[in-house]
Structure formats: C-alpha cells, structure tokens
Structure 1
C-alpha cells in the first residue's frame, strides 16, 4: 500500500472506529509507530481534523466525514457481491438493508463501469445452505438489538437432543454464522462462563432491562479458538475420503491422506459437537481418539440397532 492510499485508509479507520491508538494503527497497517506519527502529522497539515488525547489515541473531530468515494471495478464488484452474500445469509431486516445498499452502490457508478459490474455480478450467485429456519431468523433482530444495547437476555434453551430445556440468563456478546446455523456467544450466568448457544434451540426469548459491560479484551475470533480444547482424531476409508473433503466438519482443523484413507483431526468443545456428523458417515469412519467419543458413538449405535429390531417386532 502506497502512502497516499494509507493516509486515506487511516482516515477511514478513524471514521469507522472513533478512536485508535498509534500502536493499533501500526499493527493494522503493518508499519512502525514512528511512521504512524508522521502520517498523522501529514493528515493534520492537509487539513484533516485529527485530535490526539494522551493515553487514548487519535480521533476525528465529531461531524467530520469524507466526501463520497469512487470505487474501482473490483472494489465495486466486491461490495455488491458482499451485499448479495449478506442478503442470502441474514434475516428479512438485513436482507432489505443489503439490497438497498447494493442499489446505492450500483447507482453511484459511472455508466460504463456500472454495466461492466452488472455483467460480472450476473454470473455469480450465493445459494443458502438448506432452507431458511423461520424460528431462527425471527430471533435474530431481537438478539442484535440486545447485543448493541448491551442488555441481558433470558431464554428457554434446549441444550441438546434428550436434555431438559433450561432457563438461561446471558450477557450477549456477539453472533456467529457457521454456514448452516447461527449462534449467540455470551456470558452464561448459570455456567459462569462464556458459552455458544445455537439460536434455533432457543424456545423462548426475552430481552431484560438489566444491562452489562462487554469485557474490553473479548474477541469473537479468539473465543472460538480458545473454546475448543477437545482433540479428536478419526480415520475415513478411501471410499469416503473425497466426500469428507467436500463436506468437512466445522470443527475439522486438518486432513491428512494416509495408506488407510484420510486422517482427520478436529478440535471441539465436547463429544456431542461432532457425534452426529460422525454418525452420518456410518461404517466409513473409525474414531481413533478420544475413547470417550468412541464409547458415546458405540452406545448410540446400540440404541439404533435396538430401535430397528423393535420396529421389526412391531410390524410382525
């Protein structure tokens, strides 16, 4: 990135985030703090109203905004495709906002550039994985409002198949979309720890009047990495190896071809995170470790066999 582009990017960063320290900006743009100091001075000399607060960092004077930006064809294309992806992944409220944003971007492009981008955009489509879950999408707007307002939520939550539904009070920190399902990440008062809750398992939801403060060091990315401590190794036969690569588990971190087939390593929170995915592969997979997962799957298979045998007896 040349200096002119970086200066513009620094202004956009301050405009988007309100206040940033020199070390944060240096890390973002992969340059030294000394270079950031020079860049800030250059912006001030150019008339950009950057304000420095001791120990707090830099910010723009309230009310300062950049004039409308001009996009390159690639930039416009990525913005429009991003809007298409969001429209395919989010609920109706955000879908409308994504369509509106796309119309504004497309309408601001010069005629020739707009025609080129429209032609390229018509060749790409994002298809949602599976049918939309109406219950899930109906809860998303409420959860987003609770996250932004930093208000506690109370919910009736079905932990997993067979477990009793429990009332939970949670400080909602953020949302994660895995490609198939939405999760709310937050501090659970019952467990006194940060937990992930699958939104489609929320039977009832209520936003409370009580507020909370999100920890300043909380990061959705870091939380997801730190939350998965159970190491699992499984072996798929040659017949299924190609399909496993095509439809990997959300928890898979490594795929290693070997003489016996495909060795897959997964990191999960517990055995139940991957049990249904592994069962779906039937006899094509063997659990190498841990033993607790092997026992869990064996017990489930025994129950399945018993169910089939009982069904046969009922029919006769």
Structure 2
C-alpha cells in the first residue's frame, strides 16, 4: 500500500470519528481541517458510504450518521491514551467539584473500551504524573452548580441566583448565562443581568442558591470571549513606559491587570492598561519592576507607588 492510500485511510478514519462526535459535519470544514479540496472530501464520504456507513446529508449542506447507528468502540493510539492520563491529572486538581464526579465516570467509560495493553500502560504510568497545586477550592453551597449553568446555556433559559457579594450583601438576580471561565483560581459566570441591564461576572463559589426557569433568553449571545471586556467595576487608564529587557518577565502577568496594547518606542515599550485595581493590586504589581518602568499616567499612580515604596523602606530600617 503506497503513501497516497495510507493518507486516504487515515483521513477517512478521521472523518468517521468526526461524524461520531458531532451532529453535523460540513465538507468545507473537513477540507480545511485536513488541508485537501472539498472534492476530495466528497470522494472520502462516498468511500464510507460504499463501506456500509449510513451517512445522511449531501454535498453543500452537511453530513451526519443515521440516528441510532452504533459503531464498534474506537481504538485509541498510545499517544492518545497518555494524553487522557495527563488530562485526568489536571482535572483532578483544577476542575470544579461539581464537574469532577461527572468527569470521573466519563473516564471510567473511556477506560472500559481500552485494550488490555493500554490499561496496563495507564496503571504503570499514572503514578508518575503529578500536578502540584496548593490552592484549595472553596466548597460550594449548591450541588452541581456548573452543570446547571451549562444546561441553562444549552437550553437558552434564564437562571435565578441568590448571590453573596464581596461585602457579604446577599442579592437575588435573574441572569442569562453566556459562559463560564476559570481565572485567578476561581470559577466565574459571565452573564447578562436583567436587573442591571448589562453584563456582569459572578464568582461561582458565592452563589448560595440557583434555579433554572422556563423563561427563554431575551437576546442572542456570541462567544464568552466577546464579553470578557465587561466588568463589575470602574476602570482607570494607565500608561507605562517599560524597559525592553524586563518585558519577558511580565508578559504573562500583565493580562491579569487589564493590559490592552503596547507600542515599541526608542525609549522602551509603551504599555496601556484599563485596570480596576488602581488602589491596591496594580501598584503592588508595578513596584515589582518599578526600577525598569516609568509611569506616564495617571499622576495618582505615581503617588501610590511613592507611598508604597516609603512604607517598604520604613520596614527595612
């Protein structure tokens, strides 16, 4: 069997996997994924049909497997099995507790279809992988809170939540959840708040009660990243001129402080931020590299940095 037919076999097998995992698969998406022409995809689909796979659909729309059709268990490669083990370790440390049990049962189903040799591989290697994470997730008041949120997003129905704010005030909100995200070691909901008529983010561990309703969303929403620009607090514009030699040390952390853009100049890198933490978090972050940075604006940040440096100096006497 020459290289051409081996590539076709791999591609046709991968297309079958796509059909098993998605409700509708478009020819143009498959062509882009495998870097071939759409006509080649049409021929590959025809090959599957000739092999007895009941595919519904046609060129120009999309393809799917006939409802109820069952295929034999998928055979995983050794590399895929090893990736499962690594992902499981990460999930054990970083997944929200309302998702953990569901992921565990899903992994048990995956393990059940592995070959005997792959099961031995897991047993031998899983104790050699460890993820160190000292942050302890707070306990939830509500069971299955994230699955409930995700169900409401899938069904496009509103949620009613009882929420405790940072100052311990308890409020009731009706929200339309756009998505969930993990940041600063906490899980958050990004949602449209019907009370405020604007987008808000809510920390999941501060939800005291949550109820699904039958009320449909009042509007359509895009992807969660389209709404990450919204926040609960007022922002302050900050401009810093930073020495190029220090950029590599702050390039990852800057996004947590409202980084927007940067411009290279003769004197260094000018960086612009919109930050909510101008009073505490931002000055304490800047002071870690203040000897390589100049504050261009606002003046209030210069004052805060001088006061902070003075307090540090006194403690060092």
Q: TM-score, normalised by structure 2?
A: 0.70
Shift of 1:172: 1.4
Deviates more, 1:133-142 or 1:60-69: 133-142
Matches of 2:294 and 2:111, distance apart in 1: 53
Would you say the 8 A contact 1:88–1:95 is kept in 2? no
Would you say the 8 A contact 2:163–2:208 is kept in 1? yes
Match of 1:150 among 137, 152, 156: 156
Partner of 1:47: helix, strand, or coil? Answer: coil
Task: Name the structure 2 match of 1:19.
Answer: 24
Extract unaligned runs of 5+ from structure 2.
1-5, 312-317
Task: Name the structure 1 match of 2:79.
Answer: 74
Matches of 1:257 and 1:242, distance apart in 2: 14
Aligned length: 298
Would you say the 8 A contact 1:240–1:284 is kept in 2? no
Would you say the 8 A contact 2:181–2:189 is kept in 1? yes
Matches of 1:75 and 1:282, distance apart in 2: 42
Extract unaligned runs of 5+ from structure 1.
309-316
Match of 1:209 among 210, 214, 223: 214
Distance 1:175 1:206, change over 3 A: same
Q: TM-score, normalised by structure 1?
A: 0.71
Match of 1:2 among 4, 7, 10: 7
Matches of 1:264 and 1:116, distance apart in 2: 51
Matches of 1:166 and 1:304, distance apart in 2: 35
1:204-283 mapped onto 2 (5 Å cutoff): 205-212=210-217, 215=220, 218-224=222-228, 233-234=239-240, 244=250, 249-250=255-256, 265=271, 270-272=274-276, 277-281=281-285, 283=287
1:168-187 mapped onto 2 (5 Å cutoff): 168-178=173-183, 180-187=185-192
Distance 1:135 1:103, change over 3 A: closer
RMSD across aligned positions (CA): 4.5
Task: Name the structure 1 match of 2:3.
Answer: none
Task: Name the structure 1 match of 2:44.
Answer: 39
Would you say the 8 A contact 1:152–1:207 is kept in 2? yes
Deviates more, 1:234-243 or 1:15-24: 234-243
